[in-house]
Amino acid sequence: MRLLFLGDMVGRSGRTAVWERLPGLISDLRLDFVVVNGENAAGGFGITEEIFHNTLRAGADVVTTGNHVWDQREALSFAPREERFLRPANFPKGTPGKGSGLYVARNGARVLAANIMGRVFMNPDLDDPFRTVEAELAACPLGEQADAVFIDFHAEATSEKVCFGHFVDGRASAVIGTHTHQPTADHQILNGGTAYMSDAGMCGDYDSSLGMDKEEPLNRFTTKVPKGRFEAAEGPATICGVGIDISDRTGLAEKIAPLRLGPRLEETVPAFWR
Ligand code: FE2
């Protein structure tokens, strides 16, 4: 099966580019399942219900999030009733919404999608992501209840991301990192058959600081005096993500390659899907 993941949509520029390009990608590349991270889609901070629904309408099967999930307060009310909306699974017990779900892909495969957050340089109070994924995989093992397992690991530290990948190697189809917004070049298939990439990059304006207008972040680095708020950069977006080809027989990954489309970074589409 063909699974496409798109990294964090940032602001109007990022979400509009995804909404415009995704329907064509689904038909041209004959995609079976699409996951999009939407935690920065509303002006860089959180996601609204309308943005969530428009992303599903564009063809996403699941929208994942991360540390900014509740920045738009309305997410607290729509999260519990939206099957296809995921917040990090290792939030405290009783948090609205859910961190994983089992979905049926266009090819009929049952896909377990999970959103888990790292703790290093982030929020040390979250539940242990390693124990969390252990429980998720035990409840819905690859090759039994699930034909494919996709995990968006939303984390800051590359070391935590890499170790998390090794931890689930052979038990998940793919572990893809989000949150740092800059795509990494380390996409690979781990020894046990799990596709891994430290960060998918963002869908947003790369003439920016991580999708935000660069003026204020630069000002804060140089003067330490805040002058204004962080605003999402409004220039044309480059969408970044990763394509994963998953064996229908084993549920493990056979191929992985980045996808980048837009004016700023070198464009690429997984060659094995052409
Ligand atoms: Fe984040």
Encode pLDDT of 82-106 as tens digits: 999 999 999 999 999 999 999 999 9
Task: Go through the chain and tell me how many residues it has.
Answer: 274
Q: Which long-range contacts link 266-270 to residues 24+ away (Cβ below 8 Å)?
A: 269/29, 269/243, 270/29, 270/243, 270/245
**Residue 179 CA, ligand 1 centroid: distance in Å:** 4
Query: What pairing do the DSSP bridges indicate for beta strands 174-178 and 148-154?
Result: parallel
128: Cα within 13 Å, side-chain hemisphere: 5
Q: State in Å: Cα 11 to ligand 1 middle.
A: 13
Backbone angles phi, psi at 133, to 5 degrees: -70, -35
Handedness of CA 98, 100, 101, 104 (dihedral sign): positive
User: Distance, CA 225 to ligand 1 centroid (Å)?
Assistant: 24
Q: Which residue matches tokens 């049926």?
A: 104
User: What is the end-to-end Cα distance of the chain in Å, rounded?
Assistant: 14
Cα of 200 from ligand 1 centre, angstroms: 12
- In whole angstroms, what is the distance from residue 173 CA to residue 150 CA? 6
Instruction: Tell me which residues have their CB within 5 A of the ion that is ligand 1.
Output: 66-67, 179
Q: How far is the CA of 39 from the centre of ligand 1 (A)?
A: 7
Q: Which ranges of the chain have pLDDT less than 70?
A: none
CA 60 to chain centre: 11
pLDDT at 100: 98
Q: What does the pLDDT read at residue 274? A: 85
Domains and CATH numbers, the chain: 2-273 (3.60.21.10)
The pLDDT tens digits for 45-85 are 999 999 999 999 999 999 999 999 999 999 999 999 999 99
201: left (phi over 0), alpha (psi -120 to 50) or beta: left
Give the Å distance between the CA of 231 and the centre of ligand 1: 15
The answer to whether 272 and 258 have CB atoms below 8 angstroms apart is no
Say what the pLDDT of residue 263 is. Answer: 97
- List, by residue number, the catalytic residues: 68
pLDDT number for residue 59: 98
